[in-house]
Copies of this chain bind each other. A is one copy, B any other.
Amino acid sequence: MGTVPLLRDEDLSPEAAEVFAEIRALRGTDYVNNFWRAMAHDPARLREIWDRLKVLMGPGELDPLTKEMIYVAVSVANSCTYCIHSHTAQAKAKGMTDAMHMELLAVIGTAMQTNGLVTAMQVEVDEVFKA
C-alpha cells in the first residue's frame, strides 16, 4: 500500500535483524510495528533512529508519558495519520487515561485555533517574550 514494501523478518539484513531483536527485548513483545518494517530498507538509519528514540523517549528531563503526548501533538499538526495512531497507542500504554486523552485533544484543538487567529492577525512578538 505504501511507497516501500514492509519487510518481513525473513527479508531483513543482519543489521536490521539486530535492531528488531532489541526492539522485541525492550518492549517485551514479539510484535514489531510497521514503521520499523518500512525503515528496515535503510539499516543505518534504522539503527540511528532506534538508538535515539530508545534514549530520548525514556526517562529524562521530562517523563516518558509527557513526551509521548508531545509526539502526538506534533503528529496532529503535521497530519501524520500513522504517527497519531502509533503514539496515541504508546501514550495509552504508558498510562494515558481516556480523560487525559480528551484533555490532550482539547489543548491541541485550542492551540490550533489560537495559532490560526494569531497567524491571521500577524500579531507581533512582544519584546518580553524574546530570549
Contact = CB atoms under 8 A, between A and B. Distances in A.
B105 A60 contact: no
Contacts of A130: 1-2, 85
Contacts of A101: 3-4
A17 B124 CA distance: 21
Say what secondary structure dominates the interface of chain A.
helix
A122 B2 CA distance: 4
For chain A, the bracket of interface size reads 35 or more
A75 B3 contact: no
B120 A116 contact: no
Interface of A: 1-6, 31, 33-35, 38-39, 41-42, 45, 48-49, 52-53, 56-57, 60-62, 66-67, 69-89, 97-126, 128-131
